[in-house]
Structure 1
Amino acid sequence: MPGLLKIFNDRICIIYLILILVVFSVGFIPAHGVLAEVQINEVPTKKLLAPDGLSELSVGVPDAEVTIVEYMSMSCAACAKFHKTTYSELKKKYIDTGKVRFVMREFPLDNLAAAGAMLARCLNDNNKSVALISVLYSRQREWVSSQALEVLLEIAKQAGFSKVSFEACLKDGELLKKLRRRRDKADKEFGVNATPSFFINGKRLRSHTLSVEEFEKVIGPLLNKS
């Protein structure tokens, strides 16, 4: 495999064409990738949150004491499990109470992940994008399959897309470039080499379980400082 990951072609139709190939010929190509093994345990918050050409998709008040940044891949099973379990608990206890701001950043490990991320982005509305991400994770097993194109179109229509706008979104080469730049920056500058990866006020969370308790070990002391 050349480079750090499967390299996304820059031609404007590539994602849509690959989805067609996935559905009608070669079947689904699993999400995996080998990234540079860079051990970075902490990143200055200002550097981590610096603009990178894409608006932040976030939940929670902007001035919360704690900011969690997640790097996620939409086809990643561990990411889906996190969002269906731990994230829901964090949201209820910390995000909805104004203590934590949660930022979702795309780190697509394959073309299907990029397609899911692009659809969320094309809504051009933070709340709608976050809601679509939730649906994509809850139905991940359906669209990370040989039925990818059909299921993604169905989900997209429920979010307000037409077939025309769905196809136009997946042909947006500039958006694809921005997603790739975000992924590459996270890899090279922040040492992100797997999904999901988390930074809590700039500190990398090292956890095998991704349980609420593991997050609280880091969040608690930060909240107690205030």
Structure 2
Amino acid sequence: MKAVSGLALIAISLSLAACGGKSEDAAKPTGDPIATVAAPAGTTWSDTIADSPEGYYLMGNPSAKIKLVEYGSYTCSHCKDFSVEASEEIRKIVDSGRMSFEFRPYVRDPIDLTAALLARCGGKDIFYPLSEQFFANQEAMFAKVQASEAALKAVEQLPAAQRPGGIANAAGLVEFAQQRGISADQAKQCLSNTAAAEKLAKGVESANSQYNISGTPSFLINGVLVDNVANWSSLQAKLKEAGI
């Protein structure tokens, strides 16, 4: 299970990991219940977003005792289900100051890459709500892709750096992003950013190398891949074991 370069990912359709697969490593955190930590006056932890050392966006208390990471794919139905079920619950826990949350896009195909580039286009302050809206729009996006076969065939003839833009138009994602505050020019710039595409692909390579990701969504609790967890109820049980 190896990732390819960002430009190669733009050019071909591939699956780097199954949607809904399971990991082999187990995280077994134990400990006493963790005390809440108040956010700075006038703020909430779930609205506190910072750049993480790995190049993603971390939500919440940077010093939280529990650090939850999700590797998820914008084209994975299980990831969509998790987003719909868990996003508000995760925010509630993050607001307690006991846990931080970090979503790391795990790109599996060119449509996934396109969505990931657009989700980051508005910067850290809207990354999480925009990601949740991309997941909620997943079925509509697939419907537009299926109805745009000719347009997608034409995209294959474009230079590699232009293909995410062509895919985004065929999938209705540029218009979708515009309705959420990202201008057409801004979207075009983000979609043609080959350095950002390469960075996302390298993030997948790193995840595969370090954690042997076999499916999405996959979760880390304090840096350890959690076994047999792909939905909120299973993850919630693991967080309770960790003291949440």
TM-score, normalised by the number of residues in structure 1: 0.74
Is 1:218 matched up with 2:238? yes
| Other structure's SS at 1:109 match | coil
- Alpha carbon RMSD of aligned pairs, Å? 2.9
1:206–1:122 Cα change, 3 Å: same
Partner of 1:81: 81
Contact 1:71 1:197 in 2 (8 A): yes
Q: Which of the numbers 165, 169, 172 marks the counterpart of 2:193? A: 172
Q: Given residue 134 of structure 1, which amino acid in structure 2 is its aligned partner?
A: E
| Other structure's SS at 1:10 match | helix
| Other structure's SS at 1:223 match | coil
Contact 2:66 2:100 in 1 (8 A): yes
Shift of 1:158: 1.8
Contact 1:143 1:149 in 2 (8 A): no
Distance 1:69 1:192 in 2: 13
Shift of 1:210: 1.5
Distance 1:116 1:154 in 2: 12
> After the TM superposition, which segments of 4 or more aligned residues of structure 1 sit over 3 Å from their partners?
31-35, 37-42
Contact 1:65 1:223 in 2 (8 A): no
Distance 1:62 1:34 in 2: 29
Partner of 1:21: none
TM-score, normalised by the number of residues in structure 2: 0.69
State the aligned residue count: 195
Is 1:189 matched up with 2:219? no
Shift of 1:139: 0.6
Partner of 2:97: 98
Q: Given residue 87 of structure 1, which amino acid in structure 2 is its aligned partner?
A: S
What does residue range 30-41 of structure 1 map to in structure 2 within 5 Å? 32-34=15-17, 39-41=24-26
Instruction: State the Cα deviation string for residues 7-34 of structure 1 (Å, max 9, x = none).
Output: 45528xx84x88xxxxxxxxxx6x7335
Distance 1:169 1:215 in 2: 33
Shift of 1:61: 1.8
1:139–1:159 Cα change, 3 Å: same
Q: Which of the numbers 223, 226, 241 marks the counterpart of 1:202? A: 223
Contact 2:141 2:173 in 1 (8 A): yes
Is 1:115 matched up with 2:114? yes
Identity %: 24
| Other structure's SS at 1:198 match | strand
Distance 1:100 1:87 in 2: 14
1:169–1:70 Cα change, 3 Å: same
Shift of 1:113: 0.7
1:174–1:185 Cα change, 3 Å: same
Contact 1:108 1:117 in 2 (8 A): yes
Instruction: State the Cα deviation string for residues 77-109 of structure 1 (Å, max 9, x = none).
Output: 1101000003332333x1222221110001100
Q: Given residue 109 of structure 1, which amino acid in structure 2 is its aligned partner?
A: R
Partner of 2:174: 153
Q: Given residue 60 of structure 1, which amino acid in structure 2 is its aligned partner?
A: G
Is 1:10 matched up with 2:12? no
Instruction: State the Cα deviation string for residues 26-56 of structure 1 (Å, max 9, x = none).
Output: xxx6x73358x984445xxxxxxx833x2x2
Partner of 1:51: 53
